[in-house]
Structure 1
Amino acid sequence: MQFTVNQTTITKPLQLLCSVVDRRSALPILTHIRLQISQGQLTMTTTDMELEMIGQLKVTAEQEGDITVPARKLLDICRALPAGAEIHFTLSKEKALLRAGRSRFNLATLPSDSFPASEGMQYRHQLSIAQSELKGLLDQTSFAMASEDVRHYLNGLLLEKKATKLHAIATDGHRLAHSDITLSDADTDDYRILLPRKTINELSRLLENDDSPVAISANQQQVMIALPDNQLQLTSKLIDGEFPDYQRVIPVNGDKIVIIERETLRQALSRVAILSHDRHRSLRIQLSEHLLTATVVNQEQESAEEEIIIDYASQPLEIAFNNAYLLDLLSAMPDNEVQLTFSDGNSSVLITPAVAQPTRQYVVMPIRL
C-alpha cells in the first residue's frame, strides 16, 4: 500500500473523522482509522460502534491496500507538518511509514479485517434535503435534547416525515422544541427516525449553510446521511424506543398573548441571569397592563429586574421558569418577533414566531414560585 497526499487536503477531513473516535475505548481497533486505497481514491473510516463516518479523497496512488492506523496520532502528525507538504504513506512489514520533507514517522497498524463496518444494509426510506434546511431544523431544536437521561429515548432528536412535511422534535421532559419544513420532493411514506445526541451534534457541525443536497436513507435500525459529492458520509444506529407524543404537550387553549421583539427579550433575560446562581436558574415573570417584568432573586438576596413595555391588556399573571431554557430557545430562533402564549401561572408557555402559521413551536414548563 502506497500513496501520496497533500497535507492541506487531508488535514481537514481527518479532523472531522477523528471526532467520532473514542480515545478511552477498551477496544484498540476503535481508536484506529481505516485507510483504503482503490482506483486512485483514499477512503477513510472511523467508528465508535454507534456512529460511523467515512471520508473520501483523490490521491496519487502507487499501490492499493487496506490497513488501520492510530487515528489521533495520524491527525497530530498531519497537523504538525508544514502547510502544503506532500505526505508519502507506505505500508511495510506491519508498520505505516509517513514521510514529508525531512520528517519520518513509523506508526503501528492493525489489520482492517477486524475493523467494524456497516456495509450491506438495505434502506427503505430515502429523502433529499438542502444542507441549509436540515441545518436550520437541527439548530432550532437540538438544544432541547436530554443528556444522559435514564429515559434513553430523550437523549436524541426525532425526525418525522409526515406527508410533505419534515418535522424535528427534541425534549428533555422540561421543555420541547419543534420545527418543520415543507419538502419539495417527498415520497409517499410516513416514518420516524430517532437519532442519538452524538449523531445530531456531529451532523450540526458538518452541515453548511448552502442549498447543496443531503441524501438521507433510513431503515428501522440505522440511518445513512451522505453530504454533497459523497465526500463525507455518516451512518448511525437509531435509538430504540418510543418518543413521546409531542402534539399532546403543545398547549392549545392559552388566552394571554404577548408579542415582543425576540432580541429585546433575550437581552433582558441575559442581564438578569447575571445574578442567577441556583440550580434551576429561576426567573419570575409578571405580566400587567402594558408591562412585562422579569425578576431574579438569588440565595444571597441579591436581585435583578428588567421591565419591558408590551402590548398586553389581559389579566395580570405571575409565573416562573428556568431562565436558561428561555435563553436557549430565544438564541436558537431566527425570528424578529416572538409570541408568548400563557394560560395561567401553573401551565406551560407556548413560544412561537409572531406569524399566522408558525413553523416553530417551543414549550417550557413552569417551576414553583
Structure 2
Amino acid sequence: MKFVISRDLILPSLQQIVSVIEKRQTMPILSNVLLWADESSLVMTGTDTEIQIVSKVYCESIENPGVITVPARKFLDICRLLPGGAELKFELHEDKVKLASGRSRFSLSTLPAEHYPEFNESEYEYRFALNAGKFKKGLDKTLFCMANQDVRYYLNGLLLHVSNSKMKLVASDGHRLAIFEDDIGFATGYESRIIIPRKAVQELNRLLDDPEAELDVQFSANHIKVQFKDVVFSSKLIDAKFPDFSKVFNQSFMTPLLIQKQVLRDALTRVAILSNEKYKGVTFDIGGDVLKLSTHNPEHDEAEEELIIDYHGQTLSISFNSQYMLDAVSNLDSELAVLTIAGNASSCFIEEPEQPLFKFIVMPMRL
C-alpha cells in the first residue's frame, strides 16, 4: 500500500471521522481508522460500534492499493501539525506505516484490517431527500433539549417524525421540550417515527457544514444512514417509543405575552447571577404592562428587574429555571418573543410571533 496525498485534502475528512472514535476503547482496533486505497480514491472509516462515519477522498497518486488500520488520533495529529499545502507520502512496510513529508519522518504501528469490526446495518425501509441547511437548522433548534444519561433512555436522543411531506424533530429532557416542523419538499407517502441517540445527533449536526448540500436519508426500525457529499454517516437507533407530547397543546391558555427577545435575554442573564446555583430559579411576576423578574439564594442575596411588556391578561406569578428560559429565548430568530402560559400554569410556550417553525415548552418550578 503506497500513495501520496495533500495534507489539506486528507485533513478535513480525518477530522470528521476521529471525533466519533472514543479515546478509551475496550478493543484496541476501535482506536484506529480504517484506510482503504483503490486506484483513484482513499476511503477512511471510523466507528465506536454504535456510530460509523465513512469519508471518501479522491486521490490520483495511489501507486499500490491496499487496506490497513492506523492509530486515528496520532495520524490526525501528524497531518494537523504539518504545514499547509504539504505533501504526505504514505507507505506500508509489513506491520508499520512510514509517513514522510518534507524533512519529517514518522513510523506508526498498524493492526490488520480484517479485524476491524463490521457495522451491521439492517435493510432500510424508508428514504427521503432533504436540504442540509434545513435539517441542520432543525437540529440546532432542538438538540439542546435532549436528556443526558437519563434513566428514561428514550429521552437521551431526538425524535425524527416523518409524516408524508412534513418533518418534525422533537427533543425533551422531561423539564422542557423543543419542537421543529418543516416541509421536506415532496410527498414521501409514509409516516414513521425514530429516535436518534444523543451522540449521533451531535455528530450529525457537526458534519452538516454546507447548507446548500442535499442529504440522502435512509432509515429502518434499527438504523439510520445519511449520505452527505462524500461522507456516509450511519448510526444505531434507540429502540423505544417517544412519549406522546400532543396533550400539552390540547388545553386552555392564558393571554400571550409579547416582549423584546434581547431585553428579556439580558435581564434574565443579570438576575440569574444571584439565583440558587443548583436550581437556577427565577420568578416571573406578570401584571399590567410590567414583567418583574426576581430571584434569591441561600446566602440571602436578591435581584430583581422590571421590564415593559405587551400583555392584557390576568396577573400571575410563576417560576422557571433561568437557564431553560435563556436556552429557549436565545434560539428564537425574531426580535420579539411570545410567551404563552397554560391555563393551569403547567407549562410556558416560547415562540416567534409569525408562522413559527419551532416551539419551546418550559415547565415551571416551585421556589
Give TM class, smaller chain: over 0.9
Q: Calculate the aligned-residue CA RMSD, in Å.
A: 1.4
Q: What is the SS of the residue equivalent to 1:69?
A: strand
Alpha-carbon separation, structure 1, partners of 2:170 and 2:121: 30
Where does 1:108-123 land on structure 2 (aligned, <5 Å)? 108-118=109-119, 121-123=122-124
Cα distance change, pair 348–251 in 1 and its aligned pair in 2 (3 A)? farther
Counterpart position of 2:86: 85
- 2:122–2:222 CA contact under 8 A, matched in 1: no
The CA deviation at 1:346 is: 4.0
Counterpart position of 1:224: 225
Where does 1:132-147 land on structure 2 (aligned, <5 Å)? 132-147=133-148
Counterpart position of 1:368: 366
Question: Residue by residue, what CA displacement relative to the aligned partner does 1:68-89 show, whole Å, maximum 9, x if unpaired?
Answer: 0000010111112222111111
Alpha-carbon separation, structure 1, partners of 2:286 and 2:308: 10
Identity in percent: 38
Counterpart position of 1:352: 351
Q: Which amino acid is 1:298 matched to? A: N
The CA deviation at 1:310 is: 1.1
Alpha-carbon separation, structure 2, partners of 1:206 and 1:176: 24
Q: What is the SS of the residue equivalent to 1:308?
A: strand
Q: Which amino acid is 2:104 matched to? A: S
Counterpart position of 2:26: 26
* Structure 2 residue 318 is the aligned partner of structure 1 residue 319: yes
Alpha-carbon separation, structure 2, partners of 1:53 and 1:155: 21
Alpha-carbon separation, structure 1, partners of 2:250 and 2:38: 56
Q: What is the SS of the residue equivalent to 2:333?
A: coil
Cα distance change, pair 360–251 in 1 and its aligned pair in 2 (3 A)? farther
The CA deviation at 1:163 is: 2.4
Cα distance change, pair 283–317 in 1 and its aligned pair in 2 (3 A)? same
Q: Which amino acid is 1:367 matched to? A: M
Aligned residues: 366
The CA deviation at 1:251 is: 5.8
Of stretches 137-146 and 210-219 in structure 1, the one that deviates more from structure 2 is 210-219
Where does 1:29-40 land on structure 2 (aligned, <5 Å)? 29-40=29-40
Counterpart position of 2:56: 56
Question: Residue by residue, what CA displacement relative to the aligned partner does 1:231-284 show, whole Å, maximum 9, x if unpaired?
Answer: 212100001111111212346311231011222211111111222243110000
Cα distance change, pair 115–250 in 1 and its aligned pair in 2 (3 A)? farther
Q: Which amino acid is 1:287 matched to? A: I
**Structure 1 regions of 5+ residues with no counterpart?**
none
- 2:2–2:65 CA contact under 8 A, matched in 1: yes
* Structure 2 residue 254 is the aligned partner of structure 1 residue 261: no
**Structure 2 regions of 5+ residues with no counterpart?**
none
Q: What is the SS of the residue equivalent to 2:256?
A: strand
Alpha-carbon separation, structure 1, partners of 2:281 and 2:122: 48
Counterpart position of 1:12: 12
Counterpart position of 1:184: 185
- 2:293–2:306 CA contact under 8 A, matched in 1: yes
Cα distance change, pair 358–251 in 1 and its aligned pair in 2 (3 A)? farther
- 1:257–1:339 CA contact under 8 A, matched in 2: yes
- 2:2–2:64 CA contact under 8 A, matched in 1: yes
Q: Which amino acid is 2:192 matched to? A: Y
Alpha-carbon separation, structure 1, partners of 2:213 and 2:81: 32
4+ residue segments displaced more than 6 Å: none
Q: TM-score, normalised by structure 1?
A: 0.96
Alpha-carbon separation, structure 1, partners of 2:121 and 2:309: 58
The CA deviation at 1:121 is: 4.0
Counterpart position of 1:44: 44
Question: Residue by residue, what CA displacement relative to the aligned partner does 1:117-142 show, whole Å, maximum 9, x if unpaired?
Answer: 33664211111111110011000111
Cα distance change, pair 119–26 in 1 and its aligned pair in 2 (3 A)? closer
Question: Residue by residue, what CA displacement relative to the aligned partner does 1:75-121 show, whole Å, maximum 9, x if unpaired?
Answer: 11111222211111111111111111121111111111111233664
Alpha-carbon separation, structure 2, partners of 1:76 and 1:312: 56
